[in-house]
Structure 1
Amino acid sequence: MTDTAIAWDAYARQRPERRLTNARGETTWFNWTQYPDHGPGAELLEVAAGARVLGLGCGKGANAAHLTVLGMRAVGVDVSAEQLRAARERWGHLSGLELHQAEAIGFMQEPGGVYDAVYSVYGAVWFTDPARLLPAVRERMRPGGRLVFSQRPPVEGCYGCQASYIPRGDEEDPLVVKRWDYGPEVWEQLLVEHGFTDVRAVVLPAPPGPRTIGTLIVQTRA
């Protein structure tokens, strides 16, 4: 097991399960942000029933499960066995859901056809070198397909590859994974440089309340 997989397994054990229903009483839903019942949904992917959609860093599978309920062929990839175990326990009964344990770049470099859309919600696009990941993603997308991802906006002055710490027990050092922090303008530039078009990167403000950090949402086409 890689150090990265160990780190994300530890993260998975600390994260609560998604609620059984959201504020609308729905049992599945798509959430791009770190806040409940906030922001846009699956419509950002601009795909319909029957589309093949890939989630990079799918975590416990809730977003992928929602796409399956909408009639899409949802494929989720995550490096963490713990994340995928939780996904299978809750969503394994959905016949259109396909889950794989792999690192994002390695999975994208394997044969397996193309995708109508690719998404990442605080997932692998944030935690993988874009110079390596973006070309691999574009190769596996149909022309005009949507790539949409979300992550926390960067701290001012802290850009590029950063250390992200995942705590463990009181007697253990935290685990470290790398993440890539860029503002909207840099993401737009990087995506254009790698052949993507129609790029739009914005920071969605946080909902009213004590927390003020918004969500960076990037949308583009292959």
Structure 2
Amino acid sequence: MELVDAWERYARERTPRRESNARGAATWLNWTQYPDHGPDESILGPLRGRTVLELGSGSGCNLAHLATLGADCVGVDIAPSQRERAVARWGHIPGLTFHTAETTDYLIRTDALFDTILSIFGPVWFTEPEQFLPLIRKRLSPGGVLAFSHKPPQDDRQTVTTLREARAVTRWDRSPEEWTSLLASSGFSQPKADIIPPPEGHCGATLLVTAHAEAGRA
């Protein structure tokens, strides 16, 4: 499958996350493309005893951190080697499960509801949002939180872009205003989109988006 091959190539080129961050922590959540930068998991609200789904969980580093905070976590990634890496590094942590699947298929097939769904430079950026957001909404518990991040669009952007490094992968570049409108029309409340400036000496910002599932809407 061309899409799987593209993400396997991407996975092979990734540098493994450090054993500890600048504070000496063995696990942490990183929303941006820079180490030790940006907000932490507090934007997700309480985590202990909550169910969390990460779409595009990669090698599991972000999700493992949430599991250490008492969340019951499920990660889904299309690349089989990513699950292998995640299990090898984080399989000893309780409440943490990884699956290999295309995320749209997973959302359609699962009956589970989650209190939190996140995507960090993941499938929310690489899947047609008018199709994907309603699927995510159906898998969120009432009042549940969706949070995702990706690079903000450039001024000269195209809304839909095929990545040069992986022709099988299409990226949907949306502005903060476009995301909040799409989320509202897909049954989410309190949509919020913020641009996180890069650290000093860097030029690439990060777009961080959050929203809640409206109670009583399927």
TM-score, length-normalised on structure 1?
0.93
Structure 1 residue 219 and structure 2 residue 218: aligned?
no
> Which residue identity does 1:14 align to in structure 2?
E
Structure 1 residue 16 and structure 2 residue 15: aligned?
yes
Quote the offset at 1:215 in angstroms: 0.2
> Which residue identity does 1:199 align to in structure 2?
P
What is the rounded CA distance, in whole Å, between the counterparts of 1:68 and 1:145 in structure 2?
A: 17
What is the rounded CA distance, in whole Å, between the counterparts of 1:128 and 1:44 in structure 2?
A: 24
For 1:198, what is the secondary structure of its paired residue?
A: strand
For 1:109, what is the secondary structure of its paired residue?
A: helix
**1:1-222 equivalence runs, <5 A:** 2-166=1-165, 175-209=167-201, 211-222=202-213
Q: CA RMSD in A?
A: 1.0
For 2:119, what is the secondary structure of its paired residue?
A: strand
Stretches of 4+ moved more than 3 A in 1? none
What is the rounded CA distance, in whole Å, between the counterparts of 1:54 and 1:124 in structure 2?
A: 12
1:126-178 residue CA offsets vs partner (Å, 9 max, x unmatched): 11111111000000101111100000011113132211133xxxxxxx54310
> Which residue identity does 1:181 align to in structure 2?
D
Q: Which residue of 2 aligns with 1:171?
A: none
Q: Which moved more, 1:59-68 or 1:81-90?
A: 81-90
Change in Cα spacing, 1:161 to 1:175, as seen in structure 2 (3 Å) is closer
Quote the offset at 1:111 in angstroms: 2.9
User: Contact 2:47 / 2:66 at 8 angstroms: preserved in 1?
Assistant: no
What is the rounded CA distance, in whole Å, between the counterparts of 2:211 and 2:90 in structure 1?
A: 29
Q: Percent identity?
A: 43
> Which residue identity does 1:219 align to in structure 2?
T
User: Contact 1:159 / 1:182 at 8 angstroms: preserved in 2?
Assistant: no
> Which residue identity does 2:177 align to in structure 1?
E
What is the rounded CA distance, in whole Å, between the counterparts of 2:103 and 2:110 in structure 1?
A: 13
For 2:109, what is the secondary structure of its paired residue?
A: coil
For 1:59, what is the secondary structure of its paired residue?
A: coil
For 2:97, what is the secondary structure of its paired residue?
A: strand
> Which residue identity does 2:22 align to in structure 1?
A
What is the rounded CA distance, in whole Å, between the counterparts of 1:159 and 1:182 in structure 2?
A: 9
What is the rounded CA distance, in whole Å, between the counterparts of 1:47 and 1:90 in structure 2?
A: 25
What is the rounded CA distance, in whole Å, between the counterparts of 2:110 and 2:57 in structure 1?
A: 20
Aligned length: 213
1:1-44 residue CA offsets vs partner (Å, 9 max, x unmatched): x2111101011010000000000000000000000000011111
> Which residue identity does 2:136 align to in structure 1?
V
Stretches of structure 1 that go unaligned for 5 or more consecutive residues are: 167-173
Stretches of structure 2 that go unaligned for 5 or more consecutive residues are: 214-218
